Amino acid sequence: MRRLVSFLLLMVVSVQFVQADEGGFIDLFNGKDLDGWTQRNGTATYRIDGRDIVGTTAEGSPNSFLCTNELYGDFELKFEVKVDSRLNSGVQIRSQSVGDVPSGRVNGPQVEISTDKMAGYIYGESAGGWMTPDKDRQPHNHFKEDQWNSYHIVAVGSNIQVWLNGQHVSDLTHPERFESHPRGFIGLQVHGIGGGQGPYEVRWRNLKLRDLTKFKTLYNGKNLDGWKTTGNWLPQDDGSVLIQPRDGEQGWERYDAYLWSEDKYKDFVLDVEYMYPPGGNSGVYFRVADRADPVDKGIEVQILDSSKTEGPLGHHDHGGVIRTIGPTKNMSRPPHAWNRMVVTCVGSHLQVELNGEQIIDTQLDEGPMKDRPLEGFIGFQDHGQPNNLKFRNIRILKLN
């Protein structure tokens, strides 16, 4: 009996580990102690309460930071936070300490956590003050007082994007700060308070990070090495690739005009950004066994300007899985704005995230795609004139 119990406990631990790493995400907090973290600056206290990390102010202390020992450059970070309404807080990203010692002043970009309608904007902690320009810091009500709030941060190169409770709050490109802080730790701030105040608390939970530097770049931003197409796909000076159908090229059945990967992929996380014109139409294909017949020998997630679509969404709307299921929410950005789609395939489990929100979570073996191959090519659709679209930051993480 004792051996059986030990085996079952081992199985539970193994399942929990796999779930924590699903889609390339790792848990930054192990749920039991602060191994992997170091406190820098200040005398605030950090403790564990169940699955939460709790920071408590210390009267008269300067800002305090609980920081990861690991350093990160390009990454995706998700967490939930609850803060006392009288306390300001934040999460440091790509940050440093002067002298690289715990007592050295923490400096770098900080994603704001506050109840003053500025949550989600980006501040330079001991690094020049507000990074988000004054004109872009529009007051909002997306942060919920005395409730858990979800943050989603994507940092790639000089661009930092922030979603707060599913709302796209920040899209900041800051070359100067990226040059000075291209890589650094993640830090949980407890803001300093004056004498006679507090104690106040801030809580964090479900801290998950996906290291985007571990992804393979599929499009090099310069040429079509690694791809096959007869279509008019044109590398651009900004690192994107433009599909500009030639005169008379119309319709979606010109499969050899699609942009196809030379390699096949099975289980993966595919991360891609794209920009469509008004009414623009395209698609993301994957696990395509036959590039001459992707409709019946592969899977497609729709790209479509659905920015003005209201009411229930179907499988032909933006983010829907063609012939299978529609998105749970319309996350389309307006024409000429960049959209980001993340497609995660593990066995028959398919998840699609669009602009920071998961909109598809389905089992392919339980629907119309049940007989589709589990491995194949990746492609982007040339839908013909007048569907000129740009694609950029195409990268993939193999999971098998």
Helices (H), the chain: 2-20, 175-180
- For residue 202, the cross-strand partners are 55, 83
SS3 14: helix
* Fold: same for 23-214 and 216-398: yes
Backbone angles phi, psi at 286, to 5 degrees: -155, 160
- For residue 278, the cross-strand partners are none
The fourth-level CATH superfamily of domain 23-214 is Exo-inulinase; domain 1 (2.60.120.560)
SS3 191: coil
Residues in the chain, how many?
Answer: 400
Per-residue pLDDT of the chain (400 residues; tens, 9 = 90+): 434 333 333 333 333 333 334 678 999 999 999 999 999 988 999 999 999 999 999 988 899 999 999 999 999 999 999 999 889 999 999 999 998 888 889 999 999 999 999 999 999 999 999 999 999 999 999 999 999 999 999 999 999 999 999 899 999 999 999 999 999 999 999 998 877 787 999 999 999 999 999 999 999 999 999 999 999 999 999 999 999 999 999 999 999 999 999 999 999 999 999 999 999 999 999 999 999 999 999 999 999 999 999 999 999 999 999 999 999 999 999 999 999 999 999 999 999 999 988 999 999 999 999 999 999 999 999 999 999 999 999 999 999 7
Q: How many helices (H) and strands (E) would you count in the chain?
A: 2, 28
Asked whether 159 and 173 are in contact (CB, 8 A), the reply is yes
SS3 278: coil
**Annotation: CATH topology of 216-398:** Jelly Rolls (2.60.120)
- For residue 107, the cross-strand partners are 96
Q: List the one residue out of 217, 208, 360, 240 whose CA is nearest residue 299.
A: 360
Asked whether 379 and 259 are in contact (CB, 8 A), the reply is yes
- Domains of the chain, residue spans: 23-214, 216-398
**Cα–Cα dist 107/104, whole Å:** 9
